[in-house]
Each structure stands twice: as structure tokens, then as C-alpha cells.
Amino acid sequence: MRSHWQVESMHWVLDMTFREDESRIHKAQGPLVFNIMRKIAMVLFKQDETKRASMAAKKKMAGLDDEYRLTLLKSGIKMR
């Protein structure tokens, strides 16, 4: 039961932060590729400890600040 709500929580975050349900990408492999990219971004935002902000705020900062986006991407490379 608990694992079900973890999945629902993840879908809620994807819908509220990334507006996944409103996506107009419907051709070929596009929906799958963008779903995976959103989940990778969500993990990077959750693991980021350099900024203390909501996931939506981190998403906005990453869109505007090249240095912060680079920090996120480098942290993703270190996860391996």
C-alpha cells in the first residue's frame, strides 16, 4: 500500500512541477523520451543540496542560471 502512494506522489510531482498531463508530445517515441528526461530532472532536483528551494523554484533557477544547471548536470554524472 505504501509503495502505491510513493508512485502516486511521483506522478503528482511530475504533473504539478513539469505539467506532464498537459504535454502535447504524442508522436513516436517522444512521450517516452520526455517522460524519462522529466524523471531524471526530478531526481537531480531532489538530490541537489546547493540550493534550498522547492522543486519548481529549482527548475526555474536551472532554466535561468547556467552555473546552477551545470552544477546539477555534474552531480548527475557523479551519481554513476
Rounded CA gap, 29 and 26, in Å? Answer: 8
**CB-hemisphere CA count at 13 Å for 26?**
4
At residue 79, the pLDDT reads: 63
Q: Which of 9-13, 50-54, 58-62, 64-68 has the lowest mean pLDDT?
A: 9-13
Residue ranges covered by each domain of the chain:
2-78
Q: Is 46 left (phi over 0), alpha (psi -120 to 50) or beta?
A: alpha
Rounded CA gap, 36 and 52, in Å? Answer: 25
Non-local CB neighbours of 16 within 8 Å, separated by 6+ positions = 56
Does residue 2 carry a pLDDT above 80? no
Can you tell me whether residue 19 is helix, strand or coil?
Answer: coil
Does residue 23 carry a pLDDT above 90? no
Q: Mean pLDDT score of the chain, rounded to an integer?
A: 85
Model's pTM, two decimal places? Answer: 0.76
Q: Residue 68 — pLDDT band, cuts 50, 70, 90? A: very high
